[in-house]
Amino acid sequence: MSKGKNSEAVRVVVRCRPFSKKEELSACENILEVDDKLGQITIRNPKAPPDEPMKVFTFDAVYGWTSTQRDVYDEVIRPLVESVLHGFNGTIFAYGQTGTGKTYTMQGVSNDPDKRGVIPNSFQHIFTQISRTQNQKYLVRSSYLEIYQEEIRDLLCKDNNKKLELKESPDFGIYVKTCLLS
């Protein structure tokens, strides 16, 4: 497993958040081990007998609770943004239960450069590159969709309570009709 492997069409990356204050105060037990070198997460069933093997899952990359926004951006997102700047499409899909850190990873803390997330770092990267380029035109399109309980909402749309639908066409394939495409 190599974190630098960029030739795959889809990469699955896991980021594990640290315990919340509530979890620390409740003295929650950590049943997770992260091996970032092997790209593995090991989970121990706390109610299992001691001889039961732990479950091991392997991903393209894993990041533990000490990982930074910059680590994730530089190692995972930057290569994707670079390929977008060369004309390829790119998608970042954050998935997980409520409270697992998706919003923090994607948005972060906007007024703290060390805690800025994927979205502000990507926009800064893209627009810095555009500002440095001469004799080249760029068309920048972005969508920010939330899929929750089988409903799709465009978070960049003024009316983001409007439920969107998946569409299919011979020209575009499967797509979501967003505010930009309306």
Residues tagged in the binding site annotation for ATP: 96-103
Distance, in Å, from the CA atom of 36 to the CA atom of 72, rounded to the nearest integer, reads 12
How many CA atoms lie less than 13 Å away from 69 in the CB half-sphere?
A: 21
3-class DSSP state for residue 123? helix
Angle formed at CA 63 by CA 13 and CA 94, multiple of 5 degrees? 40
Distance, in Å, from the CA atom of 138 to the CA atom of 127, rounded to the nearest integer, reads 10
In the annotated binding site, the residues are 96-103
